[in-house]
Amino acid sequence: MTLQLAIILVPVIFGFMGFAIDLGRMYLIRGELNQAATAMALAAAAKLNSTTAAAGTAIAAANATLDTSLGAGNKYNFGSLAVGQGDALLTSTVYSPGFFANLADALAAVGQSGDSASDGSLARHVTINLTADAPLFFWSMFSFGQSRKAPIAGAAVAGWSAPVCTACGIEPFAIPRQDRGDTDPDNFGFVAGTLYTLGYQCNGAPVPAPLAGTVTPRIPYLILDRFNIASAVAEDQQLYQIGAQGLIPSPNPLLACARILGAENIWATAAPRNCGNATPNTSVQAAMCGLSSRLSADVPASCTNITDVATLSASYPVDTDTTSLIDYTAYQGDNRRIMTLPIVETLAIDGSMTVAGFRQFLFEPNSGATSNTPSDFNGRFVAMYLGTVAPVRQGRFDGGCGITSGPGKVVLNQ
């Protein structure tokens, strides 16, 4: 009886060992695939900027997370195989990302390998599907495991969130809403596709004229106070960095972010001056020099007085598309030129500015030029109004701001 019982228990024991080892391996690989899909989906969603080229750019960003040439690509099977590759026994497949205008369609595409429902200009969500083989050891002794492997799937969906109340990493160039009586909550009186001159607020006459090729009147702006007094980085370098990339990352949200309904002060050394002044405000000029780095690798002569500007400028590569555009959907850049600006109820220097929302502009070269002019004594530059075309780098929903339109951030939906 003991021998007979042992014979009966052998397949049972192997079955339990299969559950312990083979099933464990399958769950491990599924987790690795989901992790890879998550990285791909988040990277792709960050590139959905409402342009015709967005899908291609998003695919390239997703595939970059699988690149093992620098030792950081996503892998599976205890990190032994690169996702999308395999060996003599195991294979894995990366399906082309699916792009969708709404979340419901993106979620429905999980596990599917069909074509996208939206082109790049309409896409707001991306679905990633992956498959890979898990090796079988004990279960390979049974008929259902004779291939010595089992297919495992991974997936992720990411896309734009609802509008954020707090936006981080944006450009702190506050401009006043243009709709009188708050009649246009979607665009605040700005018109999509229109080229505006944004010029620094000044006092008295003569009122600075708009730059060539832009509409009248010029839109005044002020730089919001985000000076980090505790930083070892000099003030002019901080302003350059903000012009080059937006607000500097910081564990202090008061330095790295702006909040709708929040009261704002101006940058202390960038107080408005007389409109007839023949020299630029040095703080405004430092921010303008940072802006220039988005369109040109050359350091303008008017920027050479910024602390260690040559080294600083090398940290900010030029946008991959620096052309002057009339149709934003033709933009093929890497989002360096997209500026997310706080729209305030009115401009003020006494701390009474209130943020009404965030909207996006495309930084444009001056007419007939390749960049802006940092030496412009009125701090003027050209920007095309876009509305909401891309997610912000980071943000928060709390704060009870009650908005229904504006940029969101990238979130993982599944």
Tell me the C-alpha distance between 279 and 281, whole Å: 7
On average, the pLDDT of the chain sits at 90
As a whole number, mean pLDDT of residues 107-129 equals: 85
Which of 23-37, 52-66, 344-358 has the weakest average pLDDT?
Answer: 23-37
Alpha-carbon gap, residue 301 to 92, rounded angstroms: 54
Closest CA to 171 of 338, 27, 28: 338
Residues 2-51 have pLDDT tens digits of 655 555 555 655 555 555 667 777 888 888 889 999 999 999 999 999 99
Pairing of strands 125-135, 98-100: antiparallel
**Percent of the chain predicted with pLDDT > 70:** 92
Residue 113 is predicted with a pLDDT of 74
* pLDDT surpasses 80 at 138: no
pTM for the model: 0.90
Given pLDDT bands bounded at 50, 70 and 90, which one contains residue 62?
very high
Which alpha helices (DSSP H) does 184-313 contain, by range?
A: 235-245, 253-256, 282-292, 309-313
Q: Which of 264, 300, 296 is nearest to 285 (CA)?
A: 300
pLDDT above 90: residue 61: yes
* pLDDT of residue 99 exceeding 70: yes
Q: Which tokens is 295 given?
A: 């369109």
Q: What is the pLDDT of residues 223-243, one digit of tens each?
A: 999 999 999 999 999 999 999
Which of the 8 DSSP states describes residue 20?
I
114 backbone dihedrals φ, ψ, rounded to 5°: -80, 180
**C-alpha 389 chain-centroid distance:** 11
Which alpha helices (DSSP H) does 46-115 contain, by range? 54-64, 103-108
- In 3D space, the residue among 168, 174, 164 whose CA is nearest the CA of residue 345 turns out to be 174
H helices of 195-315, in order, are: 235-245, 253-256, 282-292, 309-313
